Amino acid sequence: MQDHARQYPGECCERDDSAEKGGGACGDGLTVYRRAVVKGCTPREGAPACLLRMGLLVAPPDDPTVLVPVAPDVAKAELVRPIEESLERQRLDAHAIAGSFVPVAAIYTAAKREHTGWATAIDGEKVVHSTLAHAVRECREELMTVQPGGARVSYDLDELDHVRGTARHRTLYPHAARTHAATLRHIERLTEAGCEVRTLDHVFDRLIVIDRAVAYVPGPGEARTSVLEIRQPSIVSFLVQVFEEAWERGSTIDPGASRTVEPDIADEIQRAVMRLLVAGYTDEAIARRLGTSRRTVAAHVSRIAAALQSRSRAQLGYLIATSGLLPVDEHTETDCTRLSA
């Protein structure tokens, strides 16, 4: 489209920049445009600048002294088209730029998942075992471990390689370890080498903290062949605090004594079973939490049900909760205590 406003400056409008700002034609411009449409043309002299700027009046090729009207749709298209073309080019540029970041974003996401700077995922049975064995050997001041019980996994360590040194070593087991011959033999070897061992009614998931500087927790999945190495100071400090609070609640163990569980420990196990029943855990989940077998849990549940004369599991949970057998704060578990269920 020709720049009619330059060729024919025209008269000054009421709003000289009206067309540039999308305000339309001024009052004089509307009057002149109507007359031009009716007559077919209008003198060039005195033509409002807004009509020229909007492309509503143009000079015919055969008579430069007059201006002829242009249909609004045509004039509008001439003005809007370059803007729309520019926007389309920008949209395509934006789409191309966004597309160029797709492979980079994929690399970033994968890298952050595998190594965040303060946490590193370690996968593979052999790699996990060698990594933890090396970390424990490098321990100089203190080793804290939590062993939930049950089947031993790839990253169970022979802590004896470490505890013969000068560092302090503390380990937590569930009370169920007191009746498990193989575990007791292992605990006896640990204590003979200087390790302190305590048991709880149930413990959280496996944990290794070395020199209060690095912690290892299980990775995702059921195979349990991965760990997460954590070096972020605040998170490690939190895990140490969790361990210390559990340690204070734990009971010391004499692995050389009879495998008969002391009455107070037996009561704690029974209360743990009842508490988890009220919280809605299945026998399998309770067994996993207490580090014992499903059959043992079923036997506990059967004895509790008989004592309370319960005819169903739902009724049993209700009877336990209302019987006064559990302190008020043990009737239910908070969400955070159920994370490892």
Q: How confident is the model at residue 265 (pLDDT cuts 50, 70, 90)?
A: low
Lowest mean pLDDT among 21-30, 68-77, 106-115: 106-115
Residue-by-residue DSSP string for 203-266: --S-EEEETTTEEEEE-SSSS--EEEEE--HHHHHHHHHHHHHHHHH-EE--TTS-SSPPHHHH
Beta pairing class for 168-174 and 142-146: parallel
pLDDT average, residue stretch 328-334: 46
- Taking CA atoms, 102 is separated from 107, 109, 125, in Å, by 9, 11, 33
Angle ∠(307,313,317) on CA atoms, nearest 5: 70
DSSP 8-state secondary structure symbol assigned to residue 3: -
Q: What angle do CA 7, 11, 14 make, to 5 degrees?
A: 130
Q: Write down the pLDDT at residue 72.
A: 93
**DSSP 3-state of 271:** helix
pLDDT band of residue 76 (cuts 50, 70, 90) is very high
Q: What order do you get walking across the sheet with 142-146 strand by strand?
A: 119-123, 226-230, 214-218, 207-210, 142-146, 168-174, 196-200, 251-252
- Identity at 297, one-letter amino acid code: V
pLDDT reading at 209 higher than 60: yes
Backbone φ, ψ for residue 310 (5° rounding): -90, 140
- Structure tokens of 49? 């600048």
Q: Which is more confidently placed, 313 or 96?
A: 96
Query: Stretch 256-268: mean pLDDT, rounded?
Result: 55
According to CATH, the topology of domain 120-259 is Endonuclease; Chain A (3.30.870)
Q: For position 264, what pLDDT does the model report?
A: 53
Residue 157: what pLDDT?
A: 53
Radius of gyration of the chain (CA): 40
Task: Please say if the pLDDT value at position 252 is more than 50.
Answer: yes
Q: Which CATH code of 1.10.10.10, 1.10.1370.30, 3.40.80.10, 1.10.3720.10 fits the domain covering 262-341?
A: 1.10.10.10
**What is the 8-class DSSP label of residue 11?**
B
* Structural domain boundaries in the chain: 4-80, 120-259, 262-341
